[in-house]
Amino acid sequence: MQTNKIVVAYSGGLDTSVMVKWLSKKYNAEIITVTGNLGQKKEIVNIEEKALSTGASKAYVVNLQKEFIEDYAWKALKGGALYEGEYPLATAIGRPLLAKLMVEIAQKEGANMVAHGCTGKGNDQVRFEVGMKTLDPNLQILAPLRDWEFKSREEEIMYAKENNIPISVNLEKPYSIDENIWGIATECGVLEDTKVAPPEDAYQITTNPKNAPQESEIIKLTFNKGIPIKLDGVEMPGAQLVSTLNDLGGKHGIGRLDIIENRVVGIKSREVYEAPGAQLLFAALKQLEKLTLDKDTFRYKQNVSNTYANLIYDGFWFTPLFEALTAFFDKVQERVSGEITLELYKGTIKVLSRESENSLYSQELATYTEEDAFNHKDAEGFINITSLPHQVITRYTVNKTGWVKSKVGESVKK
Ligand code: ARG
pLDDT tens per residue across span 215-229: 999 999 999 999 999
Q: For all residues of the chain together, what is the average pLDDT?
A: 94
Average pLDDT over residues 24-39: 96
CA 201 to chain CA mean position, Å: 23
Q: Is-contact 19 165, C-beta < 8 A?
A: no
Catalytic (active site) residue 24: no
DSSP string, 50-107: HHHHHT-SEEEEEE-HHHIIIIIIHHHHHTT--BTTTB--HHHHHHHHHHHHHHHHHH
- For the CA of 185, the nearest atom of ligand 1: 11
Q: What pLDDT is attached to residue 170?
A: 60
Q: Largest Cα–Cα distance in the chain?
A: 96
Q: What pLDDT is attached to residue 411?
A: 56
Q: Is-contact 86 183, C-beta < 8 A?
A: no
- Domain 176-359 class in CATH: alpha beta
CA 402 to chain CA mean position, Å: 54
Using CA atoms, how far apart are residues 33 and 262, in angstroms rounded to an integer?
31
Query: Any long-range contacts for 319-326 (C-beta under 8 Å, 24+ apart)?
Result: 319/134, 325/79, 326/75, 326/79
Q: What pLDDT is attached to residue 401?
A: 87
Catalytic (active site) residue 296: no
Using CA atoms, how far apart are residues 223 and 286, in angstroms rounded to an integer?
11
Q: How far is the CA of 122 from the centre of ligand 1 (A)?
A: 8
Sign for the CA dihedral angle at 49, 50, 52, 58 comes to negative
Q: Where in the chain is the domain with CATH 3.90.1260.10?
A: 176-359
% of the chain exceeding 70 in pLDDT: 96
Residue to mutate (ligand 1; options 178, 258, 262, 274; most atoms within 8 A of CB): 178
Between 233 and 167, where is the model more confident?
Answer: 233
Q: What is the three-class DSSP state of 307?
A: helix
User: What number of CA atoms fall less than 13 Å from residue 58's CA on the CB side?
Assistant: 14
Render the burial of 136-157: b for 16+ CB within 10 Å, e for the rest: beebeebbbbeebebeeeeebb
Q: What pLDDT is attached to residue 410?
A: 60
Structure confidence at residue 298 as a pLDDT band (50, 70, 90): very high
Superfamily of domain 4-65+83-162, CATH level 4: HUPs (3.40.50.620)
User: Is the predicted pLDDT of residue 403 greater than 60, yes or no?
Assistant: yes
Q: How far is the CA of 287 from the centre of ligand 1 (A)?
A: 28
Q: What pLDDT is attached to residue 168?
A: 73
Q: Where in the chain is the domain with CATH 3.40.50.620?
A: 4-65+83-162
**Beta strands at 4-9 and 113-115: parallel, antiparallel or unpaired:** parallel
% of the chain exceeding 90 in pLDDT: 90
What pLDDT digit, counting tens, does each position of 74-120 carry? 999 999 999 999 999 999 999 999 999 999 999 999 999 999 999 99
What pLDDT digit, counting tens, does each position of 187-199 carry? 999 999 999 999 9
Q: What pLDDT is attached to residue 72?
A: 98
Q: Is-contact 141 129, C-beta < 8 A?
A: yes
Q: Is-contact 123 262, C-beta < 8 A?
A: no
**Residues, the chain, total?**
414
**Beta strands at 348-355 and 338-345: parallel, antiparallel or unpaired:** antiparallel
Using CA atoms, how far apart are residues 375 and 373, in angstroms rounded to an integer?
6
Q: How far is the CA of 259 from the centre of ligand 1 (A)?
A: 12
Q: What pLDDT is attached to residue 248?
A: 98
What pLDDT digit, counting tens, does each position of 141-178 carry? 999 999 999 998 889 999 999 999 988 766 556 899 99
Burial of 205 (0-12, 13-18, 19+ CB in 10 A): buried
Q: What pLDDT is attached to residue 65?
A: 97
Structure confidence at residue 346 as a pLDDT band (50, 70, 90): very high
**Which candidate, 257, 229, 259, 258, places its Cα nearest to that of 245?**
229
Q: What pLDDT is attached to residue 414?
A: 47
Q: What pLDDT is attached to residue 118?
A: 96
Q: What pLDDT is attached to residue 171?
A: 55
Q: What pLDDT is attached to residue 405?
A: 78
Quickly count: other Cβ atoms within 10 Å of residue 3's Cβ.
Answer: 9
Q: What pLDDT is attached to residue 181?
A: 97
Q: How far is the CA of 110 from the centre of ligand 1 (A)?
A: 31
State the DSSP H helix or E strand holding residue 142, giving kind and residue range, or none if neither. Answer: strand 140-142
Q: What pLDDT is attached to residue 41?
A: 76
What pLDDT digit, counting tens, does each position of 350-384 carry? 999 999 999 999 999 999 999 999 999 999 999 99
User: Is the predicted pLDDT of residue 261 greater than 80, yes or no?
Assistant: yes
Catalytic (active site) residue 15: yes
Query: Which residue in the list 11, 17, 95, 305 is annotated as catalytic?
Result: 95
Catalytic (active site) residue 153: no
Rounded alpha-carbon distances, angstroms, from residue 385 to 29, 392, 395: 73, 11, 15
What pLDDT digit, counting tens, does each position of 325-342 carry? 999 999 999 999 999 999
Q: What is the three-class DSSP state of 17?
A: helix
Helices (H), 334-406: 363-366, 378-386, 388-392
What pLDDT digit, counting tens, does each position of 200-209 carry? 999 999 999 9
Q: What pLDDT is attached to residue 96?
A: 98
Q: Measuring from each residue's beta carbon to the nearest atom of ligand 1, which residues come in under 6 Å?
A: 91-92, 123, 176-178, 185-187, 271
Q: Is-contact 281 219, C-beta < 8 A?
A: no
DSSP, res 199 = P
